[in-house]
Structure formats: structure tokens, C-alpha cells
Amino acid sequence: MQRTITIDCPPELLMGIHLNAEDFAEYLKKQAAISLFKEGKLSSGSAATWLGIGRVAFLRIAFDAGASLLEDSHDDFQRETALL
């Protein structure tokens, strides 16, 4: 089931960022998907499906926006080196 979320946006804002309402909605959707992925609340596959793109394409966009697959924590380091 699809859900639609409505956001109030003054026309001056759209004019200021040079986007129409549809393009702004797509921009917000992409930014939300990237943010949710970076926070670990959405998988890359789910984000890609939501955006209607392939997983690899989404990962490229997310990495360009500063996302990473692994945090640089001690636990991550131990998991990665346990098999060596």
C-alpha cells in the first residue's frame, strides 16, 4: 500500500531553489533515502527500490553523499579481522 506525505512549501522556496514541486519532491525523497540509509534505518536494497533505481546505483549516490558500509569502530575491526 502506497502512502502519500504532504509537505507545505511556499512558492518562494521553490523559486529560490529553481525547482518545481515534482522535482523538489524527488529531491527530498532521494535525500530522505540517503539519510535513512546512513542512519542504518533503511537498507540499500530498500532505498534503491523506493527510488526506483538499482542497488549499485543507490550505493554510488549514497557514498557520494558521505555514507559508508562500515563504521570505524573496534567491534567492526574485530569482525573484519576475525577470519584472518
Is 15 a member of any domain?
yes
pTM of the model: 0.78
Residue 68's pLDDT is what? 82
Is 6 a member of any domain?
no
Is 29 a member of any domain?
yes
Is 1 a member of any domain?
no
Q: Would you mind telling me the total number of residues written for the chain in this entry?
A: 84
Is 2 a member of any domain?
no
Is 52 a member of any domain?
yes
Residue 33 belongs to domain spanning: 11-81
Is 4 a member of any domain?
no
pLDDT in tens, 2-44: 899 999 999 999 999 999 999 999 999 999 999 999 998 999 9
Counting the structural domains of the chain, the total is: 1
- Mark out the alpha helices in the chain (DSSP H runs): 11-17, 21-38, 44-51, 55-64, 74-81
